[in-house]
Amino acid sequence: MNDSLRLLLTDSMDYTGILSPEEPSLREALRAYVDFLNSDKGWMMSRFVIPHNMMHQLGQFSDRKHLIDGPLNLCIAGPKVETLHQFKNAVNSIEKEIISAHSGYPGEARTSILELQLPVESVVNLKPEELVRALEAVVSSAAESRILPHRVYFELPVEARNEETTKKIIKVISVHNRSILKRKIKNYLFSGIKINCGSLDVKRPPTAHYLSEVMLFARDANVAVKISGDINSAFPTYNYEHQKNVHGFINVVLGGLLGYTQDLLVDELKEVIQEKLPERFSFKNEYLAWQDLAAPQAEVKMLRMLSLTSFNTLDPKFILDQLEELHLL
């Protein structure tokens, strides 16, 4: 494998197996995650996504902790809430659950990232003052301790996942991030936006136009992006089991990187996201490219750390099998 593709894929996947429709137990999901970490493709796996209300069950990891180097790397997923009041209560509960887990299993877990869905009412009714209070509640909580998540990705509720609303949320996050920098908040790096490429509970995935618009808006607002999707594929396809079109992991992530390195316009990024022919992508030691648009290796590394961090996936093996069939791995 060449160096640039390895940079693109290293620590790129956050495992969401616990959220699978098959409803595995936490023990089963943790075993699958650790087994993948110990496979020859384990370097691609990053965090284990765990619902906040399962933190107290981390003792089920005890029979696998000797199989990984260092602590269990967690991304904590918050609940869906309707109101700002419920959101603040959820943040307080998550803080207590994290501290309790660290007390019960010291040194066995790292909780650096939190995913939170913004309150439905605040987003649907576009109440900027409530949204700022929601962001501030998270920052105030995280600043309490170094063991609490120092990066938080906010997701829009399904009811409000449209282009106009998403852009307004990104703008609020951007302004708030600048406030964090000015105030020099301890133990907190930044807030980002989580963009869902397709969920099992949503009839249609977001369009390529929507993804292009909001990813480039986030780029221009200097807001980091985390991608997620319940149904995954390396390149765009149609999933007959779920009867849905599926966006491609490579298309979305590499397209996002090209958005930065080539200053793409919406229609240009849309073409990359919709591309179904793998042979139009190039993976060289010095760069990654789609047709004549390239992302140099050094920029891929920087952007993966700061701007396009990771991709939530239920089934990493499916993506990897596709890449192996194309002799990319």
Which pLDDT score, from 0 to 100, does residue 44 have?
93
Half-sphere exposure of 193 (CA within 13 A, CB side): 27
Who contacts 277 (Cβ-Cβ below 8 Å, separation ≥6)? none
For the ranges 104-108, 123-127, 134-138, 163-167, the lowest mean pLDDT is seen at: 104-108
- Kindly tell me if the per-residue pLDDT of 119 is higher than 90: yes
Residue range 3-325 forms a domain whose CATH class is alpha beta
Q: Tell me the pLDDT tens digit for each residue of 20-77.
A: 888 899 989 999 999 999 999 999 999 999 999 999 888 777 666 677 777 889 999 9
Both tokens assigned to 157: 């509720």
Work out the average pLDDT over 127-151: 90
Who contacts 113 (Cβ-Cβ below 8 Å, separation ≥6)? 47, 74, 75, 76, 149, 151, 152, 153
Work out the average pLDDT over 270-297: 95
For the ranges 58-62, 132-136, 179-183, 301-305, the lowest mean pLDDT is seen at: 58-62
Work out the average pLDDT over 145-166: 91
More confident residue, 199 or 99: 99
- Kindly tell me if the per-residue pLDDT of 159 is higher than 90: no
- Kindly tell me if the per-residue pLDDT of 186 is higher than 70: yes
Which pLDDT score, from 0 to 100, does residue 101 have?
87
Which pLDDT score, from 0 to 100, does residue 71 have?
84
Classify the phi-psi angles of 284: left when phi > 0, otherwise alpha if psi is within -120 to 50, otherwise beta: beta
* Domain residue ranges of the chain, discontinuous segments joined by +: 3-325
Task: Assign 103 a pLDDT band (cuts: 50, 70, 90).
Answer: confident
- What's the predicted TM-score (pTM) here? 0.94
- Kindly tell me if the per-residue pLDDT of 259 is higher than 90: yes
* pLDDT, averaged across the chain: 90
Which pLDDT score, from 0 to 100, does residue 43 have?
93
Q: Tell me the pLDDT tens digit for each residue of 214-237.
A: 999 999 999 999 999 876 789 998
Q: Which of 188, 261, 178 is nearest to 219 (CA)?
A: 261
Are 237 and 248 spatial neighbours (Cβ–Cβ below 8 Å)?
A: yes
The Cα–Cα gap between 234 and 322 comes to 6
Q: Specify the DSSP element, H or E, that contains 185.
A: none
